């Protein structure tokens, strides 16, 4: 986590060692970066910056403090119809936005959905666009 000096905004910094990545992982990383640069939706994790040095890649993203949806499902065991409706509405809104922008996520699962804060379902972020792919409409 880092804090912007001027605004005090908190950001997450994902650091990836180049030496630990094979060519497929590198391709997926750049695919994700290129797709995230083009998308702007309240339920898609926002990427603010991407840079690299000789040894590492750095991705600066908005921070989500609520953890994975998967972990929350395991912790609760079940949740209400109201919570499910709030969650699914956001997921479908995100999917619709991606499809309108000619992008298919291709790896949508509870592990790739983060809760923004606490354990509330009213703010989710879809992550991991590494296997996403653009498509052309007929």
- List active site positions: 107
Structure tokens at 11: 């950001």
Distance CA 79, CA 66 (A): 16
| Cβ–Cβ < 8 Å for 32, 21 | no
Both tokens of 55, joined, read: 């040894």
Going by C-alpha positions, the residue among 132, 16, 118, 105 that lies closest to residue 71 is 118
Return the exposure string of 73-91: e unless at least 16 CB atoms fall within 10 Å of the residue's CB, then b: eeeeeeeeeebeebbeebe
């Amino acid at each position: 986590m880092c804090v912007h000096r001027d605004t005090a905004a908190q950001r997450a910094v994902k650091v990836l060692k180049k030496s630990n990545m094979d060519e497929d992982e590198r391709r997926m990383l750049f695919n994700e970066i290129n797709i995230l640069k083009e998308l702007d939706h309240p339920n898609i994790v926002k990427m603010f910056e991407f840079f690299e040095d000789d040894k590492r890649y750095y991705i600066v993203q908005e921070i989500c403090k609520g953890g994975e949806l998967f972990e929350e499902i395991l912790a609760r065991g079940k949740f209400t119809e109201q919570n499910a409706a709030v969650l699914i509405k956001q997921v479908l809104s995100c999917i619709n936005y991606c499809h309108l922008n000619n992008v298919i996520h291709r790896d949508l699962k509870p592990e790739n959905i983060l809760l923004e804060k606490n354990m509330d379902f009213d703010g989710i972020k879809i992550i991991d666009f590494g296997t996403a792919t653009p498509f052309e409409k007929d």
